[in-house]
Amino acid sequence: MRTAAEIAHDLNAFGRIDEANVARFDELLAEVCQSRDEALIPALLMRLDDDCDFHEVVFGVVHAVERFSDEAYFRALTSHLAELQTRGREWCELLHTRILNSPPHFDRFLASFASLHPAIREQEIGILRRIAADPDFALRCRIGIERLHAMPPSTSERRPFNG
């Protein structure tokens, strides 16, 4: 079995997914799932690309990141919000709607912002505002926005990742 560093390197260097390399990418996802190393989550998140023509492959990435512990997944997601919104805004919002669909997960996700820099919270508020345009998510998004606004200021130096 290869190391997580080797798998992450291949994910980061993979390039654009196309007809010729879909099978190889699926093999990489299988390695990630077998490894279960949380250090791979950021590399997976950076594979979420709105311009990818192979949605079923990108859904494989979504399912792979959701297999990790909530704590590790949410930590990676909050660390990469800015970059995700640039590369894969639609996929970022899909991850959020999936979290919103589970009240316990959404509660834990919001709680993960308590110790984060206010700029990261503001990024999340922006995402929730966009998702709130969908009536199915409007109430939960408003509640989330209110909870984020009500959090006391953090002394965290952890700032948004800007690629």
- Round to whole Å and give the CA distance between 107 and 81: 18
Give pLDDT tens digits for 84-121.
999 999 999 999 999 999 999 999 999 999 999 999 99
User: In this model, does residue 157 exceed pLDDT 90?
Assistant: no
Share of the chain above pLDDT 70, in %: 94
Give pLDDT tens digits for 126-146.
999 999 999 999 999 999 999
**Domain spans in the chain, listed from the N-terminal domain onward:** 1-68, 69-163
Cβ atoms of 14 and 25 within 8 Å: the answer is yes
Give the pTM.
0.90
Centre a 10 Å sphere on the Cβ of residue 63 and count the other Cβ atoms it contains. 12
Average pLDDT, the chain: 93
Q: What is the mean pLDDT of residues 23-40?
A: 96
CA-based nearest residue to 97, from 161, 126, 140, 149: 140
CA-based nearest residue to 16, from 62, 59, 51: 51
Length of the chain: 163
- Round to whole Å and give the CA distance between 20 and 26: 12
